[in-house]
Structure 1
Amino acid sequence: MPHRQLPGLTQSQRDRLAYIELRLRFLGEIRRQDLVTRFSIQSAAATRDLALYKDMAPGNLDYDGSAKSYVLGGAFQPLFDFPRGRVLALLTQGFGDSEPLRQAEWVTYESPSRLAHPEIDTLAAVTRAIHLKCPLKIQYHSISSGRVEREIVPFALIDNGLRWHVRAFDRRTHEFRDFVITRIEDPLVMRQSEVQSCETSDHDIQWTRIVELELVAHPDQPRPEITERDYEMESGVLRIKLRAAAAGYVLRKWSVDCSPDHSLRGPEYRLWLKDHLALYGVKNAVLAPGYVALDAMQSRPTQLKKIVHAGPTQRTQG
């Protein structure tokens, strides 16, 4: 529920206080200059806003003299009720920073909703750890191992179209992995723990590698010109660049037939991956519809092997 003093404030004041809370809760800190830059106000006005927020929620922020910034307080209680979907949009798309008021829609629309959103306090801990470049201690529910305590070093959120993941270095397995945020419990930001260089995103090969994929209209779908129009293809090809760590998610979300012989059937398969070999070395390529790893080709028919090893022009004529 909104704080009792909020209705007495102007909308511009509410916007600035909401911005303070967003920065504190999801990034773990805010500086006076952040308000000055975001709202084009004077330093004195930013100081008053921070003082007003502290007066309304004294446990929500503390001043860190060494860093000259305000940091998340140990007794944080939110003043604003931010919808989870909007928070994710704010964090990942920069879609405005003000308080999300419920206003009448300008045009009628309908958008499919997600079946699940991350718990907002868990999400806040994850994003603080990302922003502050800190390890995160968590209880994680794994299908293979059950509930296990882990220490991870998170650096990015990944939306696979169905669930939200956090990309992180896992100190338990010494590997970079994706963790489903809804499976995380009891997150603790470890601000005093150092991060080793080998735990940063620069050393995540699947994250730093960019794969270039060429998608074409599925050869077994009628009216390929409509597919080319829908996806704004140039010369019949849609060229996309993806991080290897996200490639499998994107190909699955868009139902791209990644079989070398475009063998998948169904109206959902409107696109075909032109060059199957472009996914070589992509770990999550196993998520892509129809994908077959090269080492699995030994058990496939001879005709399929010929298709895989044929040139790109030969394959598109199949």
Structure 2
Amino acid sequence: MATPDLETTRASKLSSLTKTQRERLSHIDFRLYFLGELRRADVVDRFGTGPAAATRDIALYREIAPENLALDNSDKVYRPTSTFTPLFDHAPQRVLTALSQGFGEGIGDELHPLLRCEIPSALSLPAMDVLAPITRAINRGKAVKLAYTSIDSGRTEKELVPLALVDIGIRWHVRAFDRKHHEFRDFVLTRMEHPEVLETSEVLVEERPEADIQWSRIIELDFVVHPSHKRPAVVEMDYGIASGQTLHVRVRAANAGYMLRRMNVDCSPDHSLKGPEIALWLKDPLALYGASNARLAPGYVDPNPSRTIAAM
């Protein structure tokens, strides 16, 4: 564990480096921390630099954190020491993605995981000729014209102003303003056909992201271990909850129902749901009131049952 003075010194040295240098040192840090070994070729292969440049990068890392690595002369590999303290904060999701899918060295569908890892096959993925126009429209603030097939209305022609992509675990959808219904809704990417960016169509103020109240509204949710769970300590370990404490989560109102269903959170007023998949209970289900898709949350009872969810 690095001392406060050492951390300050390290931070000062890192801040004086260029972004490119920090990226290369972060990669060195990553391989030492999560793979337990570093070769000069690892830097060369990742960044396309020459051996001399890779040697300089490793020397720079050693200058900043000499106590972090030692050369194993038996096979000329650097290994983390017992006192290793990472130089960088490594986000868990990015670490797991890198370990399971590599750093993007693959072309097309080719992946190069950094160690043995199994990823469930995605059963619902959008076509790239559908996704690309949508992402262009989001990035540039444009509208799109497309054909869309919904459960309620079948196949219709639509004009949408896409706001964001959303991954709900089982599929991807697009948050967008629907010009026909004059409101923001969610649209499944795999149900779209032939999207075309409308280059000359003006996007009005009421169609822009800041006008989407459900997207802008942040809901504060408090989860506790489900009172009926037979192994509360296991749930506390899984979710990093201190004994008897709550797990505090902030989520967009537009996405709350999807998240709660994906996590199998019991949102009933009396924690009445049962089953081994139910680990958490929402302490105050009324926190969901006003969220457009709250009814998707397991066990949720809407105080105003006359409200409906806009069909996707």
TM-score range, shorter chain: 0.5 to 0.7
Look up the equivalent residue of 1:154 and give its one-letter code. P
| 2:160 pairs with 1:173 | no
Identity across matched positions, percent: 52
Equivalent AA in structure 2 for residue 181 of structure 1: L
- TM-score, normalised via structure 1 length: 0.62
SS in 2 for 1:294: coil
1:134-185, CA deviations, whole angstroms, 9 ceiling, x for partnerless residues? Answer: 1000100011111100100001001111111000000000010000000000
Q: 1:226 aligns with which of 228, 234, 237?
A: 234
Q: Please tell me whether residue 266 in structure 1 is matched to residue 279 in structure 2.
A: no
Q: Which runs of 4+ in 1 moved over 4 A?
A: 95-99
Aligned length: 208
* One-letter amino acid matched to 1:240: V
Q: Distance in 2 between matches of 1:277 and 1:289?
A: 14
Residue 29 of structure 1 is matched in structure 2 by none
Q: Give the distance between the partners of 2:113 and 2:214, measured in 1 at CA.
A: 41
Amino acid at match of 2:197: V
Name the aligned partner's letter for residue 227 of structure 1.
V
Say if 1:286 and 1:292, in contact at 8 Å, map to a contact too: yes
Alignment of 1:35-54 (within 5 A): none
CA distance in 1, matches of 2:222, 2:288: 11
Which residue, 112, 136, 152 being the options, matches 2:120? 112
Structure 2 residue identity aligned to 1:223: R
Which residue of 1 is the match for residue 248 of structure 2? Answer: 239
Q: 1:278 aligns with which of 280, 287, 290?
A: 287
Matched, 1:161 2:164: no
Q: C-alpha deviations, 1:99-138, integer Å up to 9, x for none?
A: 5473553321112122110011100011011111110001
Q: Which amino acid aligns with 2:264?
A: S
- Find the residue that maps to 1:129 and give its secondary structure: helix
Indicate conservation of the 8 Å contact 1:228/1:236, yes or no.
no
| Alpha-carbon distance in 1 for matches of 2:122, 2:142 | 29
Letter of the 2:295 counterpart: V
TM-score by length of 2: 0.63
Residue type at the aligned position of 1:119? A
- 5 Å-filtered alignment, 1:1-318, equals 100=107, 102=110, 104-234=112-242, 235-296=244-305
For residues 113 and 103 of structure 2, the distance between their equivalents in structure 1, rounded to whole angstroms, comes to: 17
Three-state SS of the structure 2 residue aligned to 1:283 is coil
The answer (yes or no) to whether the contact 1:228–1:237 under 8 Å persists in 2 is no
Task: Please give the per-residue CA displacement for 1:203-250, whole angstroms capped at 9, x wherever unaligned.
Answer: 101000000100111100112122111101145211000000111110
* Native 8 Å contact 2:165 2:173 kept in 1: yes
CA distance, structure 2, for counterparts of residue 247 and residue 100 of structure 1 = 35
Q: Distance in 1 between matches of 2:113 and 2:209?
A: 40
The alpha-carbon distance between structure 1 residues 104 and 161, as it changes in their structure 2 partners (threshold 3 A), is closer
Unaligned runs of 5+ in 2: 1-46, 48-96, 307-312
1:70-113 deviation line (CA, Å, top 9, x unaligned): xxxxxxxxxxxxxxxxxxx89xxxx9666547355332111212
Residues 105, 111 of structure 2: 8 Å contact kept? no
Counterpart CA distance in 1 for 2:274 and 2:122 is: 26
